[in-house]
Amino acid sequence: MTVNITLIVLMAAFFAAGIYLLLERSLTRVLLGLILMGNGANILILAMSGGSGRAPLYVSGTPAEEYTDSLPQALILTAIVITFAVTAFVLGIIYRSWVLGREDEVQDDPEDHRVRTDRGAYDHEDDAELAADTSDFLEQDDVVNSGSTAVRGTGL
Amino acid sequence: MIAADLAPLAVVLPFLGAAVTFILIRHAHAQRAVSISVLGVTLLIEVLMLVNAPSTGTHAVRLGGWEPPFGIVLVVDQFSALMLVISSAVSLAVLIYASGQGVADGDEDGPVSIFHPTYLILVAGVSNAFLTGDLFNLYVGFEILLTASYVLMTLGGTAPRIRAGVTYVVVSVVSSMLFLIAIGMIYGATGTINMADLAVKLEDVDPATQLVLHLMLLVAFGIKAAVFPLSFWLPDSYPTAPAPVTAVFAGLLTKVGVYAMVRVETLLFPGDRINSLLMVVALLTMIVGILGALAQSDIKRLLSFTLVSHIGYMVFGLAISTRVGLGAAVYYVAHHITVQTSLFLVTGLIERRGGTANVDRLGGLAKLSPLLGVLFFVPAMNLAGIPPFSGFLGKLGLIQAGVDLGTPLTYVLVAASVVTSLLTLLVMARVWNRAFWRSTEDVADPDPILLASKADGSSIGTSRHVTGEDTGRFAGKNPVTLLPRTMTGPTIGLVGLGLALTFLAGPLFTLSDGAAQEMLDRTPYIEAVLGEGADR
């Protein structure tokens, strides 16, 4: 199998930058990292398809080895669509996170703090159920709870 | 025409249902009717497939008429048929529960509901992952169910759910990325992604390369299955989702990861090269998971940790990789899907009746609602593995297989699984003692809903009587029934299914033993896909 060195170098660069960005705390950078990693994986599949050749359209008399392998390209196409959907969803989350907290940092889990500090499981000041109406998606008179309870009117 | 030829319907029907419910997005009644009947029909078809699976053996359906190994195949054997039936039965129960919750809370006048279409797409993705005989199609199946699960996880878009959703999405995407990279490398090494074809061709690959590919797949699936040390994300993200969503995630999604691990271990990379590693991983998963559960006071988080812990049992069965061990692991997966989902559904009911899922703020539930007591007690004891429940039978099978193998490491694991079982009992007993048995006067900060009762001492039926005003958890225009029949009904059904696994243990063990035999044999799978005589 022949391997294209440019593709390998490009893939390595994508993975390196992607992993670096993925370890950041800012969600936008994490998203950029995910996109880079996704493209790195796609290039990897392309590199694995072997050397380039003729377009995979049947011409009589052409030996099979001269065609390029079309299956990896089909796989990449599918993977691109999936990455696209995930990117759109993460962008939605980033926007939502911005609407809620005016920041796009990854938050710590409050329950982890609770276990670590050995505080009581219920704290009047911290855990009192306040109606925090920060939703764009609900009607004015719908009240959203801040806890892990069900939200009225979303079907659950 | 045999029953196994209907396999594509298990994926196509939920997809069609999703399309129809999406069109009916403004008609809550019609949406519910369509999604419940679609899942009901799917379940019937899958039961038909399961009943016929032992007699027809492994059967491959070629999609689009393409010859393997070029086209995608769906493979029905006893293992995949059993998983399909259990997963559809569980998701149907959860769907009825969620619909019942919607009716009880009066969501007719609420905004458009995206729940039903998303849920059906999730079911389609799970069925696809169980059925597929193509590695890339498995990736697509995973992505279908994961993308649907992202939406369900962040339903409503509240701050805690967005926070949990971020962790969940990023971890899932990274694991999918690892899987995709592994697929690319496997294609580079063998030139095929058909699993039966891979089973034949991977044997010729250099052992060191094989090990790399093997471990990459295991890490990717290990993240999805929440195996220690790749389980950190699960207790963080699952508890914040709505109760029915958490229930179906806990029951199904991790088991899809376990299913994929089983296929990798038995079909693609047979042999016992990394079994010791898997055993150590199983040991740590069991112990660390259950120790995490001991530290929790929120029932949903506590159950998430027991979920991680009990994944260890399945990995243990897989690592033994004898016929007895693998058969017990198959039975254990079926048992655990049912029991873990019913426990999460009951927790949803506890949250409705008591106003919170925090055991420190709950009490007297056994007196307030004896039905709730029974519904929690039975699956809790089942999870802990008390005889005669199915959890005991599954663990007994695993321990027997471990003792049969008789190496020092398996004895350590047998001891660890007994200890984990006892610690699970301790965790469940603590929830029982606090939330159900102690009197409500002993509770430090009880929720108003918990304390509410009528003048004659009987428990109240709706939230309206609790506050009488439009504030608090069930604020709104209409009184909310706390324990509606539409929610207790499916929970009772699911707890009943858990009990049925005990009564049907004989035939089920025969089935799972047959499934284990098929998987260890490998030839039926390879010949069903590639035709007679393909395996040399």
CA distance B72 to chain A (A): 12
Confidence band of B526 (pLDDT split at 50, 70, 90): confident
For B193, which residue in chain A has the nearest alpha carbon?
A: A71
User: How many other C-beta atoms are found inside a 10 Å radius of the C-beta of residue B536?
Assistant: 7
Query: Is residue B316 within 8 Å of residue B395, measured between CB atoms?
Result: no
Q: CB distance A155–B183 less than 8 Å?
A: no
Of A1-15, B315-329, B443-457, the one with minimum mean pLDDT is: B443-457
CA distance A61 to chain B (A): 22
Of B126-135, B449-458, B483-492, the one with minimum mean pLDDT is: B449-458
ipTM field? 0.84
Residue B480: exposed, middle, or buried by beta-carbon count in 10 A (0-12, 13-18, 19+)?
buried
Confidence band of B144 (pLDDT split at 50, 70, 90): very high
Q: Which pair of tokens denotes residue B264?
A: 């990798």
Confidence check: pLDDT of B176 > 90: yes
Confidence band of B32 (pLDDT split at 50, 70, 90): confident
Closest listed residue to residue B359, CA positions, set B302, B435, B424: B435
Q: CB distance A122–B475 less than 8 Å?
A: no
At A59-104, the pLDDT tens digits run 888 887 788 888 888 899 999 999 999 999 999 988 888 888 777 7
Confidence check: pLDDT of B449 > 90: no
The residues that bridge with B285 in the sheet, in sequence order, are none
pLDDT at residue number B458? 55
pLDDT at residue number A58? 81
* Chain A residues with beta carbon closer than 8 angstroms to that of B143: 82
Whether A111 contacts chain B with CB within 8 A: yes
| Mean predicted lDDT score pLDDT of chain B | 85
Handedness of CA B284, B285, B286, B290 (dihedral sign): positive
For B236, which residue in chain A has the nearest alpha carbon?
A: A109
Q: What is the Cα–Cα distance from B473 to B450, expressed in whole angstroms?
A: 12
Closest Cβ–Cβ partner in A41, A100, A154 for B155: A154
Share of chain B above pLDDT 90, in %: 31
* Chain A residues with beta carbon closer than 8 angstroms to that of B109: 153
Of A39-43, A149-153, B82-86, B157-161, the one with minimum mean pLDDT is: A149-153
CA distance B321 to chain A (A): 32
For B181, which residue in chain A has the nearest alpha carbon?
A: A41
At B154-168, the pLDDT tens digits run 887 788 888 888 889
- Higher model confidence: residue A56 or residue B333? B333
Rounded mean pLDDT, B65-93: 88
Whether A70 contacts chain B with CB within 8 A: no
Mutation target to probe the A interface, by most A beta carbons within 10 A, among B187, B206, B349, B358 is B187
Q: What is the Cα–Cα distance from B110 to B27, expressed in whole angstroms?
A: 11
Q: Please tell me what DSSP assigns to residue B264.
A: I
Query: Is residue A93 within 8 Å of residue B169, measured between CB atoms?
Result: yes
Q: CB distance A124–B445 less than 8 Å?
A: yes
Query: Is residue B330 within 8 Å of residue B512, measured between CB atoms?
Result: yes
Q: What is the Cα–Cα distance from A21 to A33, expressed in whole angstroms?
A: 5
State the SS3 of chain A.
CCCCHHHHHHHHHHHHHHHHHHCCCEHHHHHHHHHHHHHHHHHHHHHHCCCCCECCCCCCCCCHHHECCCHHHHHHHHHHHHHHHHHHHHHHHHHHHHHHHCCCECCCCHHHHHHHHCCCCCCHHHHCCCECCCCCCCCCCCCCECCCCCCCCCCC
CA distance B463 to chain A (A): 14
pLDDT at residue number B107? 59
Q: CB distance B473–A85 less than 8 Å?
A: no
Closest listed residue to residue B253, CA positions, set B403, B147, B160, B170: B147
- Higher model confidence: residue B381 or residue B369? B381
